[in-house]
Amino acid sequence: REDMYQLVAYMTRYGDPRNITQGVLVYPFDRGYPTASPAETDGPWHLNALSEVMFITLSHDIEDAARKIRQVVPLYVGLVKIVV
């Protein structure tokens, strides 16, 4: 829980309110709990229209971890215009 508050504090302080700000909390995969937690499957969690937090678990294998990050975490480049 403290990790989430710290991440939100960093995103609020250092995020650019005119651009998408992403935060990702990463936890090691635990074979004792093979299914993803609701925090991971129900995300991303939105702080506001341009800020989101994701929770993900990663394998200890570097190739598997890198593959999952590329698949799960979208990368936004440049300005994004939000039309309401």
Is 5 in a helix, a strand, or coil? helix
Shortest CA distance to 25 belongs to which of 47, 10, 3? 3
57 backbone dihedrals φ, ψ, rounded to 5°: -105, 145
Shortest CA distance to 61 belongs to which of 33, 28, 32? 28
The whole-model pTM stands at 0.70
72 backbone dihedrals φ, ψ, rounded to 5°: -95, -40
Report the pLDDT averaged over residues 49-53: 88
State what percent of residues in the chain have pLDDT above 90: 13
State what percent of residues in the chain have pLDDT above 70: 88
pLDDT of 83 reads 45
7 backbone dihedrals φ, ψ, rounded to 5°: -65, -45
pLDDT of 63 reads 93
pLDDT digit string (tens) for 4-40?
A: 888 888 888 888 888 888 888 888 988 888 788 888 8
